[in-house]
Structures are given as structure tokens and as C-alpha cells.
Amino acid sequence: MKLSEQSKGRLKGKVALVTGAARGVGFATAQGFCHEGATVLMTDINSEQGEAAAAQIGARFMSLDVAQEADWQRCAALIAEDYGRLDILVNNAAILRSSDILQESLQQWREVMAVNADSVFLAIHYLLPIITASGAGSIINMSSSSALMGMPHFCAYTAAKAAVRNLTMSTAVLCKQQGSGVRCNSVHPDGINTKMAREIAADMPADVIAGYQRTAPFICQPEDVANTLLFLASDESRHINGAAICLDNTATIHPPYL
């Protein structure tokens, strides 16, 4: 991740939780938060990789299956007991699979919805009271450009990410009505240069891949997303609430396959 030589302490004194933090955007985000002075709790279902990643940047790791309610109850209890506060929640964990409405099975649909959408509900349901009690805070939900346009080859994924966007808006309005000082925003990247994205490309139809290659879509790096999340986590964005932040180089207004 591209960092300034010296931390500006933009998150000094804040406690942050980042899900799906063992690699990709989650790791880059946790690294940036640590660099800016936050106490960071990283979670992932991959314990071995997560432990190594946390040790690398001076964070703490907790094994967590974001689709399991019991895991979120355990996480909330740990945060309340060990930190007594939570200022930043980044719901980043997700799975990606290429499948259209005719190919998708109900079981596969439910798996994607559980990890990509149910997880965000569970995280906010159990952790918003702790953030509210801390006086203020920032919830950042990782959505996708696909939540804002039609992408037939990602049936369940797009639906889940659209659910994340709408849950973000509902949460943001609730927090404003309560006067809690908590903000909730969603981030909508297009293609990100991560291992997960590269893995899924191998399963996509050749004509779709060719279409993306012809139009040379914008592929951002994990640190590009992480830097945006850092801004949303900091007090610099204290008047941004309920927004859908696009990191897509016009993809949502000019889809790359058109």
C-alpha cells in the first residue's frame, strides 16, 4: 500500500474492525488503518493467513465466519470486553462467483447472500450499539459497481451487493434520526486487482472476458479502495452519511460491456 513516510495520525485513538482482512482490500485497509494510528481487529475465515497478516502489520486477528450469527455475538462480546468501544466497522468480507439466473442454484444463491448480505446485517445489528455508545463512528459497507447496473453473469453477487447498498441507506437515516453521530456509507468499486477477482475471471465466458479486454476497463488496486475507506473512516468525512461512493472510472454510467 502506498503510504506517506510518516503517519498523520488520522485514526489515532480509534478502534476499528475490518472483515475479510487476510488479503486483498481487507488487508490493505487494515494496514492503512494501523499506519494512521488505529487499534485494528482483523477478521477472516482463513485463520492461518489472517494470523500471519495481522502479525505483519501489528494488528489483532480473530477467526470469524461472517455468515454465522454466533460468531458475531462472540465478536461483539470480545470488543465490548477487551476494548470497551468501537469507532470504525468495515464490512468487507465477500465471495464472488460467476453465474446467471438460469445457472444459479438456490443453494448457491443462499450461500452468496449469506456471506455478502446477511453478514452486513449481522455486523450492524450486533455492533451498532457499541459504536453508538462510543459517541460517534463510521460504518463502511463494501458494495460494488454491479449493485448499480445490470451484470447478468453475476446474478447472486449483484443482488447481494444491491441489498448492501439499501441497508446502508436505511442505517444511515436511522443513525441521523437518533442523533448518534454514527455514519454509514457504501463503497462501489468496479474490478479490483485482487486474487479473488483473478480467480473468478477464469470461470467467466470467453466472450464476456473479451468484451472487457476490448474496452480496457479500469482495474483499480486494493490500495486505491483502501485509501477511500481511510477517508470515510476518518473525521475528515464527518458530513458524509448514506452516500454511495463509486470507484469505477465511469463504469456505472458507462458499463464496460456496452
- Annotate 26-39 with b (16+ C-beta within 10 A) or e (fewer): bbbbbbbbbbbebb
Question: Residue 87 — φ and ψ, nearest 5°?
Answer: -105, -30
Dist CA 162 CA 154 (whole Å):
12
Chain position carrying cell 455492533: 127
Catalytic position from the list 83, 157, 212, 257:
157
157 is an active site residue? yes
Tell me which residues are annotated as active site.
157
